[in-house]
Structure 1
């Protein structure tokens, strides 16, 4: 039976599919939930459960939904193909029950992204962290209220995330702009930081990585309000999103105009930051001390 989730939580891909079906109804049609269900000759409850990833949806049902919403052609075909593989679990699903939901969801999105444009203010980007740096960060975030096993799970998830990124046949393109304060903030001691500088230097040499430092001397810029990541996907049906994380939750921005604003801000910040060559020279100086 394709209906209920058989007692298991939905995969990240099933959540993405459900969210996209809801977004298409809300943005591409004038129909509310009840009107859409009536057009499909379904119950309102069935469609609601599909849109909230409570009920599994088949590829044929996705095709039926999209046809009712007036969609056809390559975009419809791409989403139907995606629906056929939505039940497949990725490496990130193994951590979904032990990590905050927002973060586990982001790992799934990142794993399927084509590119990431990320500005980080307080910490080195997660894909570039060493295990020791990650361990000290996790201890700080959990504020020593959680058992050591929780810290280890966080570190294991972060390292699995990095390994998956590096081993992908089509690796995600990462453009990381790091605020200089993150390089100057000593986390875990001088040795941990030296190893961290060297790790960034190694990764910055990869063809799919561009690394820049936003210097303190740059003054005000759009990123002073906080870190954010633009996530781009190869699928035609999936729009770019912005991921903004704070201490207890995360925000996913999908509105096209808002995403465009973040894109413009990131481009401006790229122009204000040190060049890749200047950024690596700074790292080399820091690693030498």
Structure 2
């Protein structure tokens, strides 16, 4: 199994930790019983590795799990096996970004702060193609572009349907002012944002230049919230060439507060939509 941490594997791992600790066993004890290294047990418990069914039943036996606990563990194991269908990622995409794509699929709520570029799931194909062209030195082959497109399309699907993601997007005004791909491409992108902003599950706002400085003016940030009570909120920070997960509760709370502060400076939804529409019209007049 690929050693990528997912929320469902973490849920299984956390449950196994509870059973192990209740049985009075340490990870080293379990490793000896399984005839595996302690690192294998650690990776199972942290959700990085998916154990096979025979190993799961062995661990449940070691822990003296009740019939109810066994059923619960087996349900969690089945859910972990049903992680979202794999999407082929570019080999250039770091593992943490691949984990982010899976977490995005499992989240119920997300909040994004972007200072320079429209977030991927809100981009039009022409806008993204222009961005890829500008960053061509970092793209190894055309296959990478195809896999990137598949990944973005998967994330876009979360914005629609009965279980659509509740998404808040805070954009710096610079995002709508910089003309990416030329006037026609940017005009299409801006009108697409206005259209998306009408969806009931999207809250799109713009921080005007007049607002001045705010806490996080560099580095794209995404906060993810999950409906499951045992799935803690997390933050993903993006930077050129990769990204970083923030999961310590205090740090996650600080980043969430930073988004709240940015929201307090942003225009209301209607005024934000008007500003975006006016920029699209200005581009059309200048063609």
Cα distance in 1 for partners of 2:73, 2:263 equals: 33
**Closer/same/farther in 2, CA of residues 210 and 151 from structure 1, 3 Å limit:** same
- Give the match for residue 100 of structure 2: 106
Conservation of the 8 A alpha-carbon contact between 1:95 and 1:104: no
CA contact (8 A) 1:99 1:154 kept: no
Give the alignment partner of residue 47 of structure 1, picking from 36, 41, 44. 41
User: For the residues of structure 2 that align with 1:156 and 1:87, how far apart are their CA atoms?
Assistant: 22
Aligned to 2:222, the other structure's residue is in SS state: strand
User: Judging changes above 3 Å, is the alpha-carbon distance between structure 1 residues 213 and 59 closer, same or farther for their aligned structure 2 residues?
Assistant: farther
Question: Which residue of structure 2 lines up, in the alignment, with residue 150 of structure 1?
Answer: 144
CA RMSD of aligned residues (A): 3.5
- For residue 207 of structure 2, what is the aligned residue in structure 1? 214
Structure 1 SS opposite 2:255: helix
> What are the Cα deviations for residues 183-206 of structure 1, in whole angstroms up to 9, with x where unaligned?
111111010000000100110000
| TM-score w.r.t. length of structure 2 | 0.80
Q: Distance in 2 between matches of 1:263 and 1:24?
A: 27
1:59 and 1:80 in contact (8 A); partners too: no
Note the C-alpha offset of 1:36. Answer: 2.6
The alignment status of 1:179 with 2:172, answered yes or no, reads yes
Secondary structure at 2:146 match in 1: helix
Alpha-carbon offset, residue 244 of structure 1:
0.3
More deviation, 136-145/179-188: 136-145
**Bigger shift: 47-56 or 273-282?**
47-56
Q: For 1:184 and 1:85, locate their aligned partners in 2 and report how far apart those are by CA, in whole Å.
A: 44
Count of matched residue pairs: 271
CA distance in 2, matches of 1:64, 1:168: 39
After TM superposition, give the deviation of residue 60 of structure 1 in Å: 8.8
Q: Where does 1:120-131 land on structure 2 (aligned, <5 Å)?
A: 120-131=114-125
Is 1:267 aligned with 2:263? no
SS of equivalent to 2:217: helix
Q: TM-score, normalised by structure 1?
A: 0.79
Classify 1:258/1:89 alpha carbon distance in 2 versus 1 (closer, same or farther; 3 Å): closer
Indicate which of 237, 250, 260 corresponds to 1:244. 237
Tell me, yes or no, if structure 1 residue 84 matches structure 2 residue 75. no
Q: What runs of 5+ residues in structure 1 fail to find an aligned partner?
A: none
- Report the CA distance between 1:78 and its aligned residue: 7.4
Q: Which moved more, 1:219-228 or 1:256-265?
A: 219-228
Structure of higher CA gyration radius: 2
1:227 counterpart = 2:220: yes
